[in-house]
Amino acid sequence: MEQKNTLRVAHLALLALLVVVSLYLNVVLENTNHQGPPNGGSTCQDGSGGERLLPFDDPEADGEWLWTTAVGDNHIWLGPEKRTFAIPMIHELHCLRNIQRVIEYGFMPAREEHTYHCLNYMRQWTLCSADVALEPGPFETRDFDVERIGGTHTCQDWEVVYDFVRDNWRELVRFRADKEMN
């Protein structure tokens, strides 16, 4: 039991380190290059700063995490041969769910390689996105329920991505039915 707790603390410390590195890079870097979702999509501004926290024991937490799962198996299939591709947003959410499960339920040795892949993938994503929006502090003493305005990030409309993945999945199902594939 003590080893399990030690492992959990080590994982949390690693996550904290990744957050610190991300925040440091967000302040140091001057610009970022974001690619929009398929078919253009729309943008929204998020400056509320009042994000809803989901403690692990919150009954709604499982549903909220499950909601981020895309239809199919988190991939899309393109071209006449239906080559398989991953969409980074879907892959990132998959990895966050994996990390959330490790924090909530503990480290599973059978999934060790996958968990490390997800941590590394999220580290790379944070470095590649290099979001430089300034988020006002101090975070430890700030009341986010009262001080609702936080850093402003320009967000892509993620529903466009989910719609694209859903439509692609339906197309794959029709393709497999036409070709009498499983």
- Contact of 118 with 86, CB cutoff 8 Å: no
Over 90: is that where the pLDDT of 110 sits? no
Instruction: Report the residue count for the chain.
Output: 182
Q: Where are the beta strands (DSSP E) in the chain?
A: 43-46, 75-78, 83-86, 153-156
Residue type, 80: P
Dihedral sign, Cα of residue 20, residue 25, residue 26, residue 32: negative
pLDDT tens-digit series, residues 50-99: 456 677 777 788 788 778 888 877 889 999 989 999 999 899 999 998 89
Return the C-alpha torsion angle 166, 171, 173, 174, nearest 10.
Answer: 150
Query: pLDDT tier at 164 (50, 70, 90 boundaries)?
Result: very high
- Predicted local distance difference test score (pLDDT) of residue 182: 58
Q: Kindly report the pTM of this predicted structure.
A: 0.61
More confidently predicted of 164 and 49 = 164
Separation CA 37–CA 155 (nearest Å): 10
pLDDT at 119 over 90: yes
pLDDT at 114: 93
Alpha carbons 81 and 75: distance in angstroms, whole number: 15
The answer to whether 157 and 41 are in contact (CB under 8 A) is yes
Asked if residue 138 has a cis previous peptide bond (ω within 30° of 0), the answer is: yes
The percentage of the chain sitting over the pLDDT mark of 90, rounded to a whole number, equals 25
Q: Which residues contact 61 (CB under 8 A, 6 or more apart)?
A: 54, 55
pLDDT per residue over 3-26, tens digit each?
Answer: 777 777 676 666 555 544 454 444
Torsion angle, alpha carbons of 155, 166, 87, 178, to 10: -160
Residue percentage of the chain with pLDDT more than 70 = 70
Q: For residue 19, how many C-alpha atoms fall within 13 Å in the half-sphere facing its CB? A: 6
